[in-house]
């Protein structure tokens, strides 16, 4: 009986513990880490993706991100749900910046807390790998010289590189 | 491409959204088009390419979402009108 009542409570608690933000504002690692903090957590694992200043020898002057907002959010929510099916984690926060992101700043920050480090470490890796494969966000690199370029993630699930039949569209 | 317009079948109006490279190619963010009520994902892509021929350069790599869900080429879609169809070029978030 006791076990069941705890189980029944879990889903709603977990829903409230997922934070998804897509914003043109500067991302702060401290802020995202704070969101997933919990007294019973023994670990907070973080991934910070930052914008690089070069691509194949070309100097990148800035990056521009755009998102299909409602769908990007719903795909991120799916990732949180999948994480909770695979690992015991406490809180998940996924922040993605859009608009112009100057070189060296964070374009994405993912934080996951858990009682023990293994779960949150694996969950963070899963979050960023899946985000790159399924979340409709695009990045344009603008170079010092030459035409700007829309990038393609190697993880993108429907391009030839990604192997369209290997991954589901879930 | 001859099977694109389902000639006599009833058509409904949907909104098409364009993102990233596809937005630049068609030079607009959204448009309204008429579609047959029952289409496969493959037909839908063909129909969009027919309406927006400038997308041909990325046709190999684009995916379509209907009401914010990815559509596989073989799946069948029933349109009622008013759906949000999105042209999704290869993604590059992260």
Residue A68 touches chain B, beta carbons under 8 Å:
yes
Which residue did the predictor score with more confidence, A169 or A56? A56
What is the rounded (10 degree) CA torsion for B12, B13, B19, B25?
Answer: 100
Nearest to A18 by CA among A116, A91, A109, A115: A91
- What digits encode the pLDDT tens for the residues A81-126? 999 999 999 999 999 999 999 999 999 999 999 999 999 999 999 9
pLDDT confidence of A8, banded at 50, 70, 90? very low
Contact residues of B toward A, CB < 8 A:
17, 19-21, 60-61, 63, 65, 68-72, 86, 88-94
Residue A31 touches chain B, beta carbons under 8 Å:
no
For residue A18, is pLDDT > 80?
Answer: yes
Half-sphere exposure of A76 (CA within 13 A, CB side): 26
Distance of alpha carbon B49 from alpha carbon B33, whole angstroms: 12
pLDDT confidence of A167, banded at 50, 70, 90? very low
Percentage with pLDDT > 70 across chain A: 84
Strand partners, B13: B34
pTM of the shown model? 0.87
CB contact under 8 A, A159 and B69: no
- What digits encode the pLDDT tens for the residues B25-71? 999 999 999 999 999 999 999 999 999 999 999 999 999 999 999 99
Residue A55 touches chain B, beta carbons under 8 Å:
no
Distance of alpha carbon A168 from alpha carbon A170, whole angstroms: 5
Q: What's the complex ipTM?
A: 0.90
């Amino acid at each position: 009986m006791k076990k069941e009542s705890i189980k029944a409570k879990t889903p709603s608690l977990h829903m409230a513990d997922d934070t998804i933000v897509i914003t043109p504002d500067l991302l702060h690692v401290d802020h995202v880490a704070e969101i997933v903090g919990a007294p019973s957590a023994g670990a907070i694992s973080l991934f910070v993706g930052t914008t690089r200043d070069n691509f194949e020898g070309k100097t990148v002057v800035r990056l521009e991100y755009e998102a299909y907002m409602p769908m990007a959010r719903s795909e991120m929510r799916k990732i949180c749900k999948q994480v909770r099916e695979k690992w015991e984690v406490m809180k998940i926060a996924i922040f993605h910046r859009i608009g112009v992101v100057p070189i060296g700043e964070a374009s994405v920050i993912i934080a996951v807390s858990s009682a023990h480090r293994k779960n949150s470490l694996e969950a963070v890796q899963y979050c960023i790998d899946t985000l790159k494969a399924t979340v409709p966000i695009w990045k344009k690199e603008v170079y010092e010289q030459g035409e700007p370029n829309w990038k393609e993630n190697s993880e993108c699930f429907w391009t030839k590189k990604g192997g369209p039949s290997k991954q589901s569209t879930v | 491409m001859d099977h694109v317009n389902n000639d006599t079948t009833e058509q409904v109006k949907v909104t098409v959204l364009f993102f990233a490279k596809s937005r630049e190619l068609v030079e607009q963010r959204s448009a309204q088009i008429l579609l047959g009520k029952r289409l496969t994902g493959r037909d839908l892509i063909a129909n969009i390419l027919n309406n927006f021929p400038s997308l041909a350069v990325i046709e190999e790599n684009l995916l379509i979402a209907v009401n914010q869900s990815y559509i596989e080429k073989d799946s069948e879609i029933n349109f009622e009108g008013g759906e949000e169809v999105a042209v999704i070029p290869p993604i590059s978030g992260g």
